[in-house]
Amino acid sequence: MKIEVVSTEKAPKAIGPYSQAIKIQNMVYTSGQIPVDPSSGEVVDGGIENQTRQVLENLKAVLAEAGTGFENVVKTTVYIKDMNDFASVNKIYGQYFKEPYPARSCVEVARLPKDVLVEIEAVAIIP
């Protein structure tokens, strides 16, 4: 079984010893994406909605590089710093994912890299 690293300049570079995503056969497993603007390398301003939007744009870029998109995502995991932001995250998330929605877990965490408010990872099928 061949393992292939997925990497794109359209999403932030990894800030540790990991890949943006890994492809195995017709599946892609992304690393968690955080709200870093890939052109500046800086965390985006504007609160949870802007951060969620940037996370999903970064995730979109990684999925595209792997040859897939949001319509083929089967599972996501959402990490948020404050569960009070759940509705705001859902509002933006629903603009990117359509029915049938992927399975999802959402977890409140004490802290995320670069002190961001949200991080999302995904598993998708490559058609």
Instruction: Give the residue numbers annotated as catalytic, written as ranges.
Output: 106
Tokens of 59: 């995730």
Beta strands 103-108 and 118-125, pairing class: unpaired
Q: What is the DSSP letter of 100?
A: S
The letter for the amino acid at 96 is Y
The C-alpha atoms of residue 13 and residue 80 are separated, in whole angstroms, by: 21
Please give the span between the terminal C-alpha atoms of the chain, in angstroms, as a whole number: 18
The C-alpha atoms of residue 107 and residue 98 are separated, in whole angstroms, by: 21
